[in-house]
Amino acid sequence: MGISGLTGWRVLDREEVARLAAHLAALPAPLTAYAAEEAVRQLGWPVVAGPSFGGAVLRTGLAPYDGFADLRFTESGATAVVVRVTDPAREPAAPATSFRRDAFALAVAVVRELLGPPDERQPGGSPLVSWSVPAGRLRLTDDGAFVELTLLSPDYPTGHLTDPESDDFDDVAPGADR
């Protein structure tokens, strides 16, 4: 676990990113909401809340933020597994941006070593890099608060992750310590 010396923000170290990416990339087939129990079994992490219609909260044992992964379901049965690579870092703006940029670059380098060059790259203020894997797409993002590693099933609508109006996941664990 890396820690920013100035701010105390935590980030997964190289080995933790490599183990997490390898674990998600090794899943043999897309996870589906219609087989939620099997999806949870394949991930191998204990369930904290759910599974319910919107998904489940799983404990990864990794330290940034809350140590949880979100297993999200859509009505069509598609899934996303979202794991935070960093603590939230928003303020102060300049150090937070620098921290997330460095964490993102580290994670991209580690996953690139594991899976080769990414299939997709979107630079900018909210960068995104992704790779094709047997279970769908493995995607790294910096959303302005967290750096996240996400496994998306092939039919997962990517706008569903970024549009708060379409994210029906928030009701999975009311009152959960997040």
Split into its structural domains, the chain has a count of: 1
For residue 41, is it within any domain? yes
For residue 104, is it within any domain? yes
Long-range contacts: 110-117, Cβ < 8 Å, 24+?
Answer: 110/14, 110/17, 110/18, 110/21, 111/17, 111/21, 111/138, 111/140, 111/149, 113/18, 114/18, 114/21, 114/22, 114/25, 115/21, 115/25
**Beta-carbon-side half-sphere exposure of residue 99 (alpha carbons within 13 Å):** 28
For residue 176, is it within any domain? no
For residue 177, is it within any domain? no
Instruction: Dig out the tokens for 168 from the structure.
Output: 């029906």
pLDDT, tens digit, 9 for 90 and up, residues 127-149: 999 999 998 999 999 999 999 99
Expressed as residue numbers, the domain containing 12 is: 2-171
For residue 14, is it within any domain? yes
For residue 103, is it within any domain? yes
Do 136 and 120 touch, CB atoms closer than 8 A? no
Instruction: Dig out the tokens for 152 from the structure.
Output: 């998306």
pLDDT, tens digit, 9 for 90 and up, residues 39-97: 788 888 898 987 777 888 988 888 767 788 888 888 777 788 999 999 899 887 889 99
Global pTM value:
0.81
Round to whole Å and give the CA distance between 68 and 125: 25
Round to whole Å and give the CA distance between 97 and 75: 35
For residue 138, is it within any domain? yes
